[in-house]
């Protein structure tokens, strides 16, 4: 996979250089260096002198070679001093490029930009995963996500739990996260998305900006740093939220008037036993910050703050029973 990532980077570098060339120089370069058309034929078709075609090739060739050598990390002799006759295939190290032509190369490029992976964590486990575009994915405990990249879109499907994203900006390829019926679109930012135990979705932004939609309807055209949105299950109105972004990254959970049943399910991601609340305790509200490593102490102190008692069940789970 490392070779595939390197080639994608090289193709992206080449695309950027070609896009920045003057139109005639780009046409001359593509027709001669990729399609293989002779310089004389190009000069006649464009109604310019052979010397003009040679100058355009020199300019384009120097820029392409400089970009690709920068990508490869080559140092030392400047590109111009090495001559201008290297083929695109030799610069890229891909012999097939010279043979398949521009259309074929474009097709190969689109195919090469396809990448898929699935990630999952167990209870008490968190992982940090680098993505091939340079973005980073942090996956919370007991969470699952599927990632799919292609030439037009970078997509993540959050199936369970919570994830934090540090996204590398690519204007031509938006980064999109789907969680339940909520879609979060971003070009470059740091943000978190969480599927709540009750089925809602939390979106919080640490830096940059994101757009949040549900079923194609825009809920927030732009969430910026420090802002968040809670999107309940079932079409109820979304509400603005604040507070720390993905505190689980630092070993903490933050509850803001959360129903005890949901807080228990959230803590269960880090516990070796299931935690649940009965009907009398389920809707009691809890607020505050819990150190995940000391969640047992927090649970033991809970009866002093709320009308509940802790009951160890025969299956090993812990019941928060109302009293």
**What is the DSSP secondary-structure string of 67-128?**
HHHHHHT--SS-GGGG-S---HHHHHT-TTHHHHHHHHHHHHHHHHT-EEEEEE--TT--EE
Residue 321 has pLDDT above 90, yes or no: yes
Looking at residue 267, its pLDDT comes to 94
> What's the pLDDT tens digit per position in 155-205?
999 999 999 999 998 877 899 999 999 999 987 799 999 999 889 999 999
pLDDT of residue 11: 65
How crowded is residue 222: how many other Cβ atoms within 10 Å of its Cβ?
A: 11
- CA torsion sign for 234, 256, 122, 185 is positive
In the chain, CATH 3.55.50.30 sits at 251-322
pLDDT given for residue 80 in this prediction = 43
Tell me the CATH number for domain 115-241.
Answer: 2.60.120.1440
pTM metric for this prediction:
0.66
Inter-CA distances, 302 with 168, 242, 290, 297, 305, Å: 42, 24, 12, 9, 5
Q: Pairing between strand 175-179 and 154-160?
A: parallel
What local confidence, expressed as pLDDT, does residue 198 receive?
86
Pairing label, strands 275-277, 318-322: parallel
105/107 Cα distance (integer angstroms):
5
- Write the secondary structure of 161-216 as one string of H (helix), E (strand) and C (coil): CEEEEECCCCCCCCEEEEECCEEEEECCCEEEEEECCCCCEEEEEEECEEEEEECC
Fold of 251-322: Phage tail protein beta-alpha-beta fold (3.55.50)
The gap between the terminal CA atoms of the chain, to the nearest Å, is 57
- CATH 2.60.120.1440 spans which residues of the chain? 115-241
Of all residues in the chain, what percent carry a pLDDT higher than 70? Answer: 80
Residue 98: what pLDDT?
42
| 57-89 pLDDT per residue, tens | 888 878 877 776 665 555 554 444 444 444 444
Poorest-confidence range of 47-51, 54-58, 111-115, 209-213?
A: 111-115
Report the SS3 class of residue 292.
helix
Let me know: does 5 contact 132? Beta carbons within 8 Å: yes
Question: Beta strand pairing status for 127-130 and 154-160?
Answer: unpaired
What is the maximal distance between C-alpha atoms in the chain?
A: 94
Whole-number Å distance between alpha carbons of 43 and 22 = 16
pLDDT of residue 70: 66
pLDDT of 287 over the 80 cut: yes
Of 35-44, 134-143, 162-171, 314-323, the one with minimum mean pLDDT is 35-44
Q: Identify whether the C-beta of residue 161 lies closer than 8 Å to the C-beta of residue 142.
A: yes
Segment 7-33 shows an average pLDDT of 77
Burial of 129 (0-12, 13-18, 19+ CB in 10 A): middle
What is the residue-averaged pLDDT of the chain? Answer: 83
Q: In the predicted model, is pLDDT for residue 231 greater than 80?
A: yes
pLDDT band at 34 (very low <50, low <70, confident <90, very high): low
Q: What is the pLDDT of residue 2?
A: 45
Percent of the chain's residues with pLDDT above 90: 54
């Amino acid at each position: 996979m490392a070779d595939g990532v390197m080639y994608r980077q090289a193709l992206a570098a080449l695309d950027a250089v070609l896009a920045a060339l003057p139109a005639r120089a780009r046409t001359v370069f593509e027709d001669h260096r990729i399609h293989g058309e002779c310089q004389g034929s190009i000069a006649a078709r464009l109604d310019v002198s052979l010397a003009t075609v040679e100058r355009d090739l020199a300019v384009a060739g120097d820029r392409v070679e400089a970009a690709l050598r920068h990508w490869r990390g080559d140092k030392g002799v400047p590109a111009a001093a090495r001559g201008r006759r290297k083929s695109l295939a030799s610069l890229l190290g891909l012999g097939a490029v010279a043979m398949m032509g521009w259309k074929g190369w474009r097709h190969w490029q689109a195919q090469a930009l396809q990448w898929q992976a699935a990630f999952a964590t167990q209870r008490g486990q968190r992982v940090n995963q680098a993505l091939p575009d340079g973005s980073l994915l942090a996956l919370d405990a007991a969470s699952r996500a599927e990632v799919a990249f292609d030439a037009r879109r970078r997509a993540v499907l959050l199936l369970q739990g919570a994830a934090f994203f540090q996204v590398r900006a690519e204007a031509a390829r938006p980064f999109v996260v789907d969680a339940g019926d909520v879609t979060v679109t971003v070009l470059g930012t740091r943000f978190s998305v969480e599927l709540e135990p009750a089925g809602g979705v939390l979106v919080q932004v640490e830096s940059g900006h994101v757009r949040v939609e549900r079923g194609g309807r825009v809920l927030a055209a732009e969430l910026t740093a420090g802002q968040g949105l809670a999107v309940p299950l079932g079409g109820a109105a979304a509400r603005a939220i604040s507070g720390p972004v993905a505190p689980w990254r630092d070993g903490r959970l933050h509850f803001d008037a959360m129903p005890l049943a949901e807080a228990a399910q959230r803590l269960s991601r880090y516990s070796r036993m299931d935690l649940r609340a009965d009907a009398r305790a389920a809707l009691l509200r809890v607020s505050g910050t819990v150190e995940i490593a000391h969640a047992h102490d927090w649970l033991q102190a809970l009866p002093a703050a709320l009308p509940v008692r802790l009951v160890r069940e025969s299956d090993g789970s812990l019941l928060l029973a109302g009293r």
